[in-house]
Every structure is written in C-alpha cells, then in structure tokens.
C-alpha cells in the first residue's frame, strides 16, 4: 500500500490537523489525484488563447507568447478538494490574476468573475476574492510545465477556496456586475467554497 490510506498517511493527516493546517473533514494525500468532469481537452500552447471580457477598460485576447511575457510569479499553496483530499505545498508558477487585471483595467461596476474553460466547465467568484495576490493563472507546477490532465497549458489556482474554483484549461475570464454560478455551483456545490468554514454544499 502506498502513502495514500497507509498508517503513515493517517499519522501525517493527524499531525497536519494538530498543526492547524488541515481544514475540517479533509485528509492528506501526497499523490496528486486528477479530478475532472468529463475528458481532458487537448489544448496545445500554440492553439491556446485567453480572453478577458466584460467590465474592463480594454478587453484582451492573449496567446501563449503574450501570456508568458507578462510578469511571472510563484505561489506555494495547499490545495483542498471538496471530496476530501488535501495536497500541501504545491509550487505554482504563472501570472497573478491581479497583474492581468492591471493590464486590462477594471471598471468600477465589475463585482464578479466568471471563469470559462476549454471543454465547457465554468466556475465563479467575487472579484474581491480573485484580487488576492495568491490567485494565479498557473502554467507550471513543481518546476515542470503543467500536465494536460491537471489543466495545462494554463489553469486558475485559488488557494483559499475548494479546488472546484481552480478552473483547468482556462480560456476566458468575464468581469460582470452580477454573479454567474458555474458548473458545480448550479449542481449544489457551495458558491463561496471556503474550506475553513466547510462550505461544501449549498443545501
Ligand atoms: N475545467 C475543469 N476544471 C476543473 C475541474 C473540471 O472538471 N474541469 N474540476 C475541478 C475540481 S472538482 C478539482 S478538485 C480540481 C482538480 O484539479 P486536479 O485534477 O489538477 O487535481 O480541478 C477543478 N477544476
Ligand atoms: Mo474537487
């Protein structure tokens, strides 16, 4: 048996909980499970585009070169899936959402962000949550290019929310005045998704 489910994993989970680092109801894994609804859309970097639309001064459409030319940042963060697993110390590299918004220019009416993915997945957050400097459009993980099944070329990472907010194969960001609940949010997952408040379901 591997680390996952072993006595060692249980000890590590208990220690992390004691250290106050594991949100309630979560357990620790060292592996990195793939959690996707449906198939992995194969998006080679040369075909990938990122659109920023809606309540911005200047709508953007970036290709891979333009994205990589933006200031790059590193965020090391824990990752919590609503199904129960948490993975600590993920070293992400990419572009901070807040820096991308500096390029687009936010309009004062913008209050929410709708995330659109290749493959059709969507999710949503208040703009305020997205402007946290730890929110990253990540293209690398653990010193390597992000694997296709984990959202490569580019995924969103929102460390302070359950991972269903961390949209893989990100292709579009829409700045809106009204909230637009995403794929899981309309199917009963919590709209806010704070793991420390155990906001798993909306019912
Ligand atoms: N496009 C897309 N993004 C997605 C998902 C998905 O199904 N499609 N699943 C979400 C969920 S529920 C989780 S837990 C994380 C899982 O990321 P991972 O597969 O890299 O572990 O991706 C999130 N982002
Ligand atoms: Mo998840």
CATH code where residue 132 lies: 3.90.420.10
Contacts of 181 (CB under 8 A, 6+ apart): 124, 191
Q: Nearest C-alpha to atom 21 of ligand 1 is from which residue?
A: 34
The H or E element that residue 67 is part of is helix 64-68
Q: How far is the CA of 87 from the centre of ligand 2 (A)?
A: 12
Peptide bond into 153 cis (omega under 30): yes
> Is the pLDDT score of 1 beyond 60?
no
How many whole angstroms separate alpha carbon 70 and alpha carbon 54? 21
Per-residue pLDDT at 203: 83
Q: How far is the CA of 36 from the centre of ligand 2 (A)?
A: 8
Per-residue pLDDT of 4-14, as tens digits, reads: 667 888 999 99
Q: Could you tell me the residue range of the domain that residue 168 belongs to?
A: 40-73+92-197
Per-residue pLDDT of 12-44, as tens digits, reads: 999 998 899 999 999 999 999 999 999 999 999
14 within domain boundaries:
no
130 within domain boundaries:
yes
Closest listed residue to residue 156, CA positions, set 169, 175, 147: 169
2 within domain boundaries:
no
Q: Nearest C-alpha to atom 24 of ligand 1 is from which residue?
A: 167
Atom of ligand 1 nearest to the CA of 169: 1
83 within domain boundaries:
no
How many whole angstroms separate alpha carbon 126 and alpha carbon 179? 7
Q: Is 97 in the pocket of ligand 1 (CB under 6 A)?
A: no
80 within domain boundaries:
no
28 within domain boundaries:
no
Contacts of 42 (CB under 8 A, 6+ apart): 148
Q: What is the DSSP string of 101-131?
A: HHHH-B-TT--EEEEEETTS-EEEEEHHHHT
State the pLDDT confidence band at 134, using cuts at 50, 70 and 90.
very high
pTM: 0.96
168 within domain boundaries:
yes
151 within domain boundaries:
yes
Instruction: Work out the average pLDDT over 140-157.
Output: 98
Total structural domains within the chain:
1
Contacts of 126 (CB under 8 A, 6+ apart): 111, 112, 113, 179
What b/e string do you get for 124-158 counting C-beta neighbours within 10 Å, with b at 16 or more? bbebebbebebbbbbbbbeeeebebebbbbbbbbb
């Amino acid at each position: 048996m591997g680390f996952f489910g072993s006595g060692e994993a249980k000890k590590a989970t208990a220690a992390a909980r004691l250290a106050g680092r594991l949100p309630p109801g979560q357990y620790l894994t060292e592996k990195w499970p793939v959690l996707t609804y449906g198939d992995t859309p194969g998006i080679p970097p040369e075909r990938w585009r990122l659109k920023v639309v809606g309540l911005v001064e200047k709508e953007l459409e970036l290709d891979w070169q333009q994205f990589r030319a933006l200031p790059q940042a590193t965020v090391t963060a824990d990752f919590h899936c609503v199904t129960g697993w948490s993975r600590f110390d993920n070293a992400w590299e990419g572009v901070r959402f807040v820096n991308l918004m500096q390029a687009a220019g936010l309009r004062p009416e913008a209050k929410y962000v709708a995330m659109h993915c290749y493959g059709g997945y969507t999710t949503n957050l208040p703009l305020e949550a997205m402007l946290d400097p730890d929110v990253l459009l990540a293209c690398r993980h653990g010193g390597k290019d992000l694997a296709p099944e984990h959202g490569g070329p580019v995924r969103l990472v929102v460390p302070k929310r359950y991972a269903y907010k961390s949209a893989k194969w990100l292709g579009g960001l829409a700045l809106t005045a009204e909230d637009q609940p995403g794929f899981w949010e309309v199917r009963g997952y919590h709209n806010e998704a704070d793991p420390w408040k155990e906001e798993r379901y909306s019912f």
